A = this chain, B = another copy of it.
Amino acid sequence: MESLRERKKQRTREALLRTALELFTTEGYERTTVDDIAEAVDVSQRTFFRYFAGKEEAALALMEVTVAHFLQSVRERPPHEAPMEALRQAVLEGWDTLNDVIEAIAPVELYLRMCRVVESTPALLAAHLRRSAEVEETLAAVLAEREGVDLDTDPRPRLAVAVFGGVMRLTERQWSVGEDFSLDAMRALTVSYLEQVGPALSESWRTH
């Protein structure tokens, strides 16, 4: 059983996050000041920074949840799957179960809108890409362990993850600029792109 203190803290954090996301998606990230958020929640600006390391962290909080969810999916993949297949299955399975995970925090619709904001806000996109790079490193370690190879001497884990990450980021981006913001559309794009990686690297694209 949680203490009153814990619950209060939790409520403050949720209020801050929800308000922040709401403002970011309606007013825009840059046009929303931390003071705006704090004022709307009726706490001091200082308190905001006690819950979030910065404005960015609040904006990317939902992405962080999906990342954790995806990483978990990868770790749970049966060890007999080949590396790329495990990653592929993990994302696909991830999209299936993501709905519930997100909904526990905020409406999925808010998540989708926030994705677009991230993609269209330079500062947020930069932070997101940096975070993605960190995730790739983690992922490489997971693959290395799965396959029993040494991360320091064998470049294949990092290579596979770099390729995979590149394709996934392209997927994210294309999805966010498209018109269908459903998770289904995301899954369709994922499958389509992953299937086309091989052909795209082939000798020539010209259909002479």
Binds B, one of A24-32, A40-48, A96-104, A156-164: A156-164
Main secondary structure of the interface of A (DSSP, over half): helix
Q: Which listed residue, B156, B204, B205, B206, touches A199 by the CB 8 Å rule?
A: B156
Interface residues on A, range: 35 or more
In the docked arrangement, what's the CA distance between A147 and B203, Å?
11
Q: In the complex, what residues of B have CB within 8 A of residue A196's CB?
A: 155-156, 159
The reply to whether B166 and A162 form a contact with Cβ atoms under 8 Å apart is yes
What are 21 A-to-B residue pairs whose CB atoms are below 8 Å? A83-B204, A125-B133, A126-B129, A129-B132, A147-B205, A147-B206, A155-B170, A155-B193, A155-B196, A156-B196, A156-B200, A159-B167, A160-B200, A162-B170, A163-B163, A163-B166, A163-B197, A163-B200, A163-B201, A166-B166, A197-B201
Name A residues whose Cβ lies closer than 8 Å to a Cβ of B: 82-84, 122, 125-127, 129-130, 132-133, 147-149, 154-156, 158-160, 162-167, 169-170, 174, 192-193, 196-197, 199-206
